[in-house]
Amino acid sequence: MSKLFHITTLENYLEISKNGLRASADGYIYLLTSKANAAYVAKNQLGYTDNFGLLKINSEGIVKELEADNVGEITAFQQRRIKQDLIEAEFISLEGMYKF
């Protein structure tokens, strides 16, 4: 995959920019293959109501195999997950901060 993205809050981005992107409690890191539906996912799946940050992930930081995320939304074809503990900060950049 050439382009991968991750949705987060500004507060989380500040931590991620220093220490990298860590897996959630279930052991997965969740990614998008397109930023086209990021606002939809942020609002309807993650419950963000004000704003969100979109991180661009360099695929060189992906060391495990991507798999389809287990979601039923219309955006499922763009959602991936990876069973990886950490994506190092050097492979992550801020694509932008967005308001609803």
Residue 11 tokens, joined: 């507060």
Domains and CATH numbers, the chain: 4-99 (3.20.170)
Indicate yes or no: pTM above 0.85.
yes
pLDDT in tens, 30-66: 999 999 999 999 999 999 999 999 999 999 999 999 9
Q: Contacts by 12-17 with C-beta closer than 8 Å and gap 24+?
A: 12/53, 13/53, 13/55, 13/94, 16/55, 16/89, 16/92, 17/89, 17/92, 17/94
pLDDT at 1 over 70: no
Contact yes or no for 7/38 (Cβ under 8 A): yes
% of the chain at pLDDT higher than 70:
99
% of the chain at pLDDT higher than 90:
90
pLDDT at 58 (0 to 100): 97
Contact yes or no for 94/17 (Cβ under 8 A): yes
